[in-house]
Structure 1
Amino acid sequence: MDGTNYYETVPRDALEKVLWMESDRMGFFINTVTQAGLEREIDVVSNEKRQGENCPFGQSYALMLKYFYPEGHPYSWPVIGSIADLRSATVEDVKEFYRTYYGPNNATLVVAGDFNREKTKELIGKYFGEIPAQEKVEKVKPIPVKLEKTRKLVYEDQFTNVAGLDIAFPGVEQYHPDFYPLRMMALLLSYGKGSPFYKVLVEERKLTSYTNVATSAFELAGQISLSAKAFRGGNLNDIYKGMQEAFRRFETEEIKDSDLERLKIMQETMMYNVMMALESKTQALARNNVFGGSPDRSVEELSKYKAVTKKDIMRVYRQYVKGRHFVALSTVPVGAMDLALSGSEPVNVEQDDYVGQKLASDGKAITDDESFEFTPSVIDRSAEPPLMDNKPEMNIPEIWIGQLQNGMKILGMEYTELPVVQFTIILNSGMLCETADKSGVAMLTAAVMNSGTRMKTAEELEAAFGQLGARATIGASAERMQLTGHCLKKNLPQVVQLIKEMLLEPRWDEEAMELAKTRMRESIHQSVTTPKTIARNVFRRMIYGPDNVLSRSVWRSEESIHSIQLEDLKEFYTKHISPSTATFCFVGGYSKEEVMSLLRPLENDWSAKDVKETGLNMTYTAPPAKIYFVDYPGAKQSYILLGAPAMPRISRDYYPAVIVNKMLGASSNSLLFDVLRLKRGYTYGAYSSFDCGKYLNEFRATSSVQAAYTPEAMLLFRECIADYGNQFTAQTLDKTRDAMFRENAAAFEMPDARLDILEAIAAYELPAGFMKTQEQMLRDMTPEQAQECIRKWLNYDRMFYVVVGDAETQLDRVKKADLGEVIVVNKEGVPEK
């Protein structure tokens, strides 16, 4: 909100190229900004804005900014602004902004990674040294918000089917001394099962599945935010009364020392998490320097969190929240004004003509063919520098393998840069183990296993993990259940004991099960309001058929959830939770012997049993139509999905397919992105990928496009994919190979990336050396093999479309596009009569 970040994560031998490119952007590119290029970017950013608005609660953020901040305050509108703002921008506006802010004296450059310090300084001087300083940009003083009265607003959202409440109190700007106790206050109010907001609104009154209190602080101002979405038909007055009761308890019940200490430990863990990845570490250093005056400001920040006292927290609560004015926004379904806070005044949003509006491309590719004068430079900036001579290699860390006597496999990989560990226990016991009449039992079993143990309530279990700087949760998916967690290295022995309790001694709490059932039913109810989810559900139904387990969502239907009882969960647990199908994946600073020793309690007390999956029908029958259209009334964007079934993850065809897809749609350098965004401006992004499945897989190409150009975008998808084999040359393969080798060189930087490798081995039954095998496949692939893979797995004739958009304005246009038969289906994929 307060600055602009340009960041690149590249192999070490590309450092000079990046410095050349970024210095060109800062000092030498402005004359290349043309009217055609500006118009294209206006179209692209307009699509970005509409994409964010074309979903439930998509307008709530902008409305809160508008009415919380005074008119003219820099935060009173989103960074993107309005469509009218975008359309009124001129080339001269862009150049004036550039001249004002894009100077070296207003920037911080951070280089982090494996490089030669003196050589890098020399390169920075070469490329940035001649850029002249601009006029000094004066530091802006804070502009705090002062509300003269409480204001309640209501907005009717055409895309939502539940009501949501957002409340904002004025807070403080970043680095203000009160920010640290305010953040601790917010966490104490709503973070965790013991917090008053969770206790009152979720557990006791059962008004919502999630509520949040947050404190945000920026350069000029900050705010304290409360938010909650009601269950269907829920009245926001009840939510507000619950919040008031939660505040009352916070005032009257003394803060526990253990709770405050747990949150301080969490702040330390969060700092480690930021420092794990080179990219987030670099951005933190830059932001700290620009706004905090020192690149190591995070260390000082942590000390300030640790110094917060209970007295500080209650002081800021009374100063900024208790009895203070606020702005409340009720977002309700159309025609449900009675669900809003009493006394709310209706507000609306400015509507743009998203149907009639013409893009700059308007049916043709945009070209930047205007002449311009290059900005003078002492070096030849038209000459792209070569790669440096320190080419990185993919060094795959050693994977060690073990097995406990009860059958649980152990996979490990070393990580010692930071004192943290990450782990996952994968269990072959997901939806595939369910019977049709008890669909959803796997997810419910996981939810109840998260809700305490025989010896600990859910609140006590969460607190025990928190005191150790740890977290562990159990989840379920179609093919598996898994327990995933992390902790400080020194606390792993205690964490293993807690994991043992979760796995072997579930609490089997009836109330926890009923709460989980309510949450799942509400998730089903709300999921049919999001275009991406609708498209994915319809697509899977068409691929697998309505009765296949893989075509269902994880919780199937509200009816099946309602029928499940606690005894069903116990039966599922008894039959399917077994070390014989479990794999413990570990990344951290322990040896194989140490990890095996730490897991002895699980070996001794967890007995193996046979686990059987429900049989799967893996036959595929092509759906009868080429296009399935789902009506999403009033949509500003149409969500397009084009795809087909693909191979299992373990197939030898999988990685070759990933290779040939790289230049089709795997990144912003790919064909789909180039054609649909850069050349036509139809979308903010367009991508394609092969999913991962143990038994069957999916290829999907997707984009959210401006509604008025729905059939045009579909035709471009056809053009790109149907002709891809002709465009994929030996040079394309060489470019792909080089790009993927460079990406793979950094594949093991972060511990979670290493954990992903181990999880893939466990989940898809891959050999431990599969990464080396893939590297050899990439090295050896021939153009002929690439063409064969494209013909087999990127065959447009095998694919079909799912389009989620406004039928009133787009259905007839799609039918007239001559792309194939169109069938209108509902949000579950059932044909409309």
Structure 2
Amino acid sequence: MRKSPLSSVPALAAALFLSTSLTAPLTPAFAAAAQQAQPASPQELVSKVDIPYEKFVLPNGLTTIIHTDRKAPIVAVTVYYKVGSKNEPRGHTGFAHLYEHLFFGGSANVPNYDIPLEAAGSTPTNGSTWYDRTNYVETVPTGALDLALFMESDRMGHLLPAVTQDKLDKQRGVVQNEKRQGDNQPYGLYDYFQSEGLLPVGHPYRHSTIGSMADLDAATLTDVRQWFTEHYGPNNVVLVLSGDIDAATARPKVEKWFGDIPRGPDVAPVKAGPVTLPAPVSRDITDQVPVLRLTRNWTAPGLNDPDTPALNVGMYILGGLASSRLDNALVRGQELAVSTTAYDQVFQQLSFLTMVMNVKPGVDRALAEKAFGKVLADYLRDGPTEDEVRRAVTTLLSGEIGGLERVGGFSGKGSTLAEGQVYSNDPAHYKKDLEAMAALTPERIKAALNKWLSRPVYALNVVPGKRTASGDQMGGWGDEADHPAPPADPHAKAPALAAGPARTAPPVQPVSALKFPAIEHATLSNGIPVTLARRTAVPKLVMTVDFDAGYAADALDTPGTQGLMLSLLDQGTATRNATQIAEAQERLGASIDIDASRDDSTVTLSALTDNLAPSLALTADLILHPAFKPADFTRVKAQAQAALAQTFSSPRALASRTLDAAIYGKHPYAQPGDGLGNAQSLAALTPANIRAAHDEWMRPDLASITVVGDVTMAQLKPLLEQAFGGWKAPEAKAPVKPLDTATPPAKARVILIDRPNSPQSVIMAGRVLPLTGRTPGEEPLELANDVLGGDFLSRLNLDIREEKGWSYGVRTGVSQPTGPSAVQLIAPVQADRTGDTIKAVTADMAAFPATQPVSAEELQRVTEGAIRGMPNQFETNASVLSAIRKNARLGRPEDYYATLAGKYRTIGAKAIGAAAAQYLQPTGLTFVIVGDRKVVEPQLQGLGLPVEVREAPAAPEAAPEKE
């Protein structure tokens, strides 16, 4: 993938305790209604999944599919090229992905692909490469559709004159840093070993999509030009336009922009079916990981094989469901594992069947392996039950229905239609898959599993220890020692190309203003406020129950208390154990997630409208009647300790928790943002601590409910009243987090955490700001951050990634919590450029705005471009829900986003520059670096910053078996 959003460190999901004094039983009428409500059948769910389309093919072979969806004034442009890494020959691994990056570097008539689109309001603008295809996606305002089509056609038909040696060298560096970033993670080399063990040298799915360092190093301009000429003709492309468009309008536009591009060679088919090993194979690899990981692997048929739906559902029952066979037996049953999973990773011509067991620390390996194998053997002998099949199919279908909210992106309706055409020559192939899933029987699944999982297995196990392999030497064809590539000069001169015909970009037409959904309010009889935004695009809704607690509440308790408490919520109630809770969700096609942020502890329900009453009953049961059995506490505590060990082994997670503690000092926001506390505090927690914390924090007078989706207030409020209205607050006064605690003065320094054998350094930096998320009028600061490091076209990312090629992505952000805000930066960079990156970052920050004020192009992009992109940002129920909750938390008016365009238009370059000068300077930044000390420390000399070196923390011990 070309652009990688730097997502936040995953937090431990969590749970609550409710003492007898706070519990409120479900009313008999509601409980009876919920019990009697029959969940929708798989066949009923399948009938709701429909993406109508029209299709036409231009004379040059370009296949175009149109889907009309008028819910918002946006059109998703989805382009699939029928070329992926499976098409790469020996010596050219990584070429498809490298070309994906080059596609964004400009074409003959478009100097930079991102700038015009983002200025027009495109969100997202991205691309990705996989074994079978390369795709590009952008969702634009309807008035910018012609611009998007012009740009897609210019790089399809007129790219090569703009592919220069300089661009090749820079994107080569970016791709190699993308490879290092993936390799640098715990278990980061597993995929290389998996494909190498399952497939012979030369099999098209054996080498990695990102390729080998050697092949990337050797790529010449002549090579990449030839690769483009052989694969990227319109006859090898599927274009999907979905959203505010129809075929009658679309066809002349497509003919205008793409019709003159000549056909190219057809992409040659490759033979790439599944492979049966001659005998079982077992291999151990060592890595800097916290727990032993056992895996079992096979290849299986591709997505068009009749066995694939059965294998997909069968593996989901084995290890994908929350109530999976593996979880029931190994995590909750014998408690030999901290987590398990199983899945069928499906591609066009084959798939990888994988089952995984992360062994609980202290468990004998032989015992773990025996139990792991027994689960599979029993499953193959007995097959799934009828109930398991229905639960798995319902869960998967519910996810498909939810995916219909988006018209574009990597997983929306546009991609669904494109993949059907590319892989199966049928845009509606998804319907056949869903109908096949709905018709599955236990016997059909058992037969498919036994056919494919009874073959010789590849047991690949990752053992804690020193990493001895290097990702730099992996990912290629596999026989380089026997077939060394001829010497190549990556800078060999290539002949100049003619500029090609001049084409003019069309103007962006007027863009419709954002129409934020209407918001309704109600209050339950116990005082809980309810907010609803009705949206009917899909027959689902999403609901949150927010409590004013969050990880900051641990400032008044033991660190890790809130996270462990929350993670116990779905582990048992007065009438259900953890397995029964999971099974109940699966039957309903519902999902109940429990987590926290700094400020809030949140229970989130995603439910099918048809199954709302029983889904609400289940949610209320979890919140009001948790059991908190000692055995559950002991098991979940051990899982939390394993998660903490995983955090210590992840360079980014370790940097994040180190930085928060360094800049916030004794403030509640110094609590680790993953909710795990520390090894000592986690080890000391007891069930009594959990009960006390729940009595203190999880109460109706600290709760609020927000709902977005296909339900009316008249339908919703009675159900919520029946579920939660009888829940009474205790007499004790509600707690208040000390968010006014002083933070330490900003201190310029470097904290270097030694992580040997790291091909990349993860740099994070931050400083607490003299404002809070509730401070009004901070929109100029938000825009200043966008200019500096907030998006792909920001100054820092263009400098460190696009110009220098040292990183896969650099970002900055300004947090907006209830309490004090902070500016933070993250920059994963190649290890030998750590010091240079800090110098470049500080120089770029200091120059804004002193020597480099906001340019006219930047001002247009972050203001008018953001305004044009607003309709795209609230396409899903979840995105609307998030906006409503954020407005409430920060004390904003409900029409904040509807009025934001007007505010942006009044903010000029001067105000943005002033915000940057006040808040975004490098003065006082604390830098945290997680990397190889022997490589990094010499680079820090001459920075003028004090350096503190720390050893990476040791992994915590697992909880004892009994408490």
> Would the TM-score normalized by the shorter structure come out above 0.5?
yes
* Counterpart in the other structure of 1:276: 405
CA–CA distance in structure 2, aligned partners of residues 81 and 416 of structure 1: 44
* Counterpart in the other structure of 2:726: 605
Whichever residue aligns with residue 788 of structure 2, its letter is L
Q: Structure 1 pair 23/172, CA: closer, same or farther in 2 (3 Å)?
A: same
Q: 1:694 aligns with which of 802, 814, 818?
A: 818
Residue 443 of structure 2 corresponds to residue 311 of structure 1: yes
How far did 1:532 drift?
Answer: 0.9
* Counterpart in the other structure of 2:760: 637
Whichever residue aligns with residue 282 of structure 1, its letter is G
Contact 2:863 2:904 in 1 (8 A): yes
5 Å-filtered alignment, 1:281-430, equals 281-322=413-454, 324-334=455-465, 351=473, 372-374=496-498, 376-377=500-501, 380-381=502-503, 383-388=504-509, 390-430=510-550
CA–CA distance in structure 2, aligned partners of residues 546 and 691 of structure 1: 18
Whichever residue aligns with residue 346 of structure 2, its letter is A
5 Å-filtered alignment, 1:57-96, equals 57-96=187-226
Q: 1:231 aligns with which of 360, 366, 370?
A: 360
SS at match of 2:764: strand
Residue 489 of structure 2 corresponds to residue 489 of structure 1: no
Q: Structure 1 pair 623/669, CA: closer, same or farther in 2 (3 Å)?
A: closer
How far did 1:704 drift?
Answer: 0.8
1:657-687 CA-to-partner distances (Å, cap 9, x unmatched) read 1111112112211111111111111111111
SS at match of 2:816: coil
Q: 2:582 aligns with which of 418, 439, 462?
A: 462
Q: Structure 1 pair 623/435, CA: closer, same or farther in 2 (3 Å)?
A: closer
Q: Structure 1 pair 687/552, CA: closer, same or farther in 2 (3 Å)?
A: closer
* Counterpart in the other structure of 1:358: none
Whichever residue aligns with residue 221 of structure 1, its letter is L
SS at match of 1:160: coil
Aligned residues: 800
Further displaced range: 495-504 or 234-243: 234-243
* Counterpart in the other structure of 2:914: 788
CA–CA distance in structure 1, aligned partners of residues 417 and 266 of structure 2: 22
* Counterpart in the other structure of 2:34: none
Q: TM-score with structure 1 length normalisation?
A: 0.92
CA–CA distance in structure 2, aligned partners of residues 220 and 242 of structure 1: 32
Contact 1:402 1:410 in 2 (8 A): yes
CA–CA distance in structure 2, aligned partners of residues 370 and 691 of structure 1: 48
CA–CA distance in structure 1, aligned partners of residues 877 and 325 of structure 2: 34
Whichever residue aligns with residue 869 of structure 2, its letter is E
How far did 1:350 drift?
Answer: 5.4
* Counterpart in the other structure of 1:342: none
Whichever residue aligns with residue 354 of structure 2, its letter is S
1:783-821 CA-to-partner distances (Å, cap 9, x unmatched) read 3322221122112213232122211022011123x2422
Further displaced range: 745-754 or 248-257: 248-257
* Counterpart in the other structure of 2:326: 197
Q: Structure 1 pair 320/15, CA: closer, same or farther in 2 (3 Å)?
A: same
* Counterpart in the other structure of 1:578: 699
Q: Structure 1 pair 563/626, CA: closer, same or farther in 2 (3 Å)?
A: closer
SS at match of 1:798: coil
* Counterpart in the other structure of 2:717: 596
Q: Structure 1 pair 684/608, CA: closer, same or farther in 2 (3 Å)?
A: same
* Counterpart in the other structure of 2:751: 628
* Counterpart in the other structure of 1:820: 945
Q: 1:652 aligns with which of 753, 770, 776?
A: 776
CA–CA distance in structure 1, aligned partners of residues 725 and 156 of structure 2: 63
Q: Structure 1 pair 253/763, CA: closer, same or farther in 2 (3 Å)?
A: farther
Residue 162 of structure 2 corresponds to residue 42 of structure 1: no
How far did 1:770 drift?
Answer: 2.5
How far did 1:235 drift?
Answer: 5.0
CA–CA distance in structure 2, aligned partners of residues 524 and 535 of structure 1: 13
Contact 2:552 2:671 in 1 (8 A): no
* Counterpart in the other structure of 1:563: 684
Q: 2:569 aligns with which of 449, 455, 464?
A: 449
* Counterpart in the other structure of 1:363: none
Further displaced range: 579-588 or 724-733: 724-733
* Counterpart in the other structure of 2:937: 811
* Counterpart in the other structure of 1:2: 132
CA–CA distance in structure 1, aligned partners of residues 494 and 279 of structure 2: 54
Whichever residue aligns with residue 205 of structure 1, its letter is Q
Contact 1:196 1:249 in 2 (8 A): no
Contact 2:294 2:356 in 1 (8 A): yes
Q: 1:679 aligns with which of 781, 792, 803?
A: 803
* Counterpart in the other structure of 1:738: 864
How far did 1:45 drift?
Answer: 0.6
Q: Structure 1 pair 335/486, CA: closer, same or farther in 2 (3 Å)?
A: closer
Contact 2:605 2:619 in 1 (8 A): no
Q: Structure 1 pair 235/681, CA: closer, same or farther in 2 (3 Å)?
A: farther
Contact 1:448 1:509 in 2 (8 A): no
* Counterpart in the other structure of 1:340: none
C-alpha root-mean-square deviation of aligned residues, in Å? 2.4
Q: Structure 1 pair 454/435, CA: closer, same or farther in 2 (3 Å)?
A: same
CA–CA distance in structure 2, aligned partners of residues 420 and 547 of structure 1: 40
CA–CA distance in structure 1, aligned partners of residues 572 and 778 of structure 2: 40
How far did 1:776 drift?
Answer: 3.3
1:182-226 CA-to-partner distances (Å, cap 9, x unmatched) read 112111112335432112221233222211111122122222111
Q: 2:648 aligns with which of 507, 524, 528?
A: 528
CA–CA distance in structure 2, aligned partners of residues 625 and 718 of structure 1: 11
CA–CA distance in structure 1, aligned partners of residues 669 and 782 of structure 2: 26
5 Å-filtered alignment, 1:754-793, equals 754-793=880-919
SS at match of 1:599: helix
CA–CA distance in structure 2, aligned partners of residues 32 and 432 of structure 1: 51
SS at match of 2:593: strand
Residue 310 of structure 2 corresponds to residue 186 of structure 1: no
Whichever residue aligns with residue 712 of structure 2, its letter is S
CA–CA distance in structure 1, aligned partners of residues 285 and 907 of structure 2: 56
Unaligned runs of 5+ in 2: 1-130, 475-490, 955-963
Residue 640 of structure 2 corresponds to residue 517 of structure 1: no
Q: TM-score with structure 2 length normalisation?
A: 0.80
Whichever residue aligns with residue 715 of structure 2, its letter is E
Q: Structure 1 pair 762/235, CA: closer, same or farther in 2 (3 Å)?
A: farther
CA–CA distance in structure 2, aligned partners of residues 603 and 317 of structure 1: 44
Q: Structure 1 pair 560/202, CA: closer, same or farther in 2 (3 Å)?
A: same
CA–CA distance in structure 2, aligned partners of residues 205 and 799 of structure 1: 48
1:61-88 CA-to-partner distances (Å, cap 9, x unmatched) read 1111112111111111110111001111
Contact 2:551 2:672 in 1 (8 A): no
Q: Structure 1 pair 84/226, CA: closer, same or farther in 2 (3 Å)?
A: same
How far did 1:347 drift?
Answer: 7.3
Q: 1:16 aligns with which of 132, 135, 146?
A: 146
Contact 1:169 1:224 in 2 (8 A): yes
Q: Structure 1 pair 748/104, CA: closer, same or farther in 2 (3 Å)?
A: same
* Counterpart in the other structure of 1:51: 181
Contact 2:205 2:272 in 1 (8 A): no
CA–CA distance in structure 2, aligned partners of residues 62 and 263 of structure 1: 30
How far did 1:12 drift?
Answer: 1.7
Q: Structure 1 pair 121/463, CA: closer, same or farther in 2 (3 Å)?
A: same
**Percent of aligned positions with the same letter in both sequences?**
23
* Counterpart in the other structure of 1:540: 660
Further displaced range: 213-222 or 673-682: 213-222
How far did 1:584 drift?
Answer: 0.7
Further displaced range: 763-772 or 555-564: 763-772
CA–CA distance in structure 1, aligned partners of residues 434 and 262 of structure 2: 37
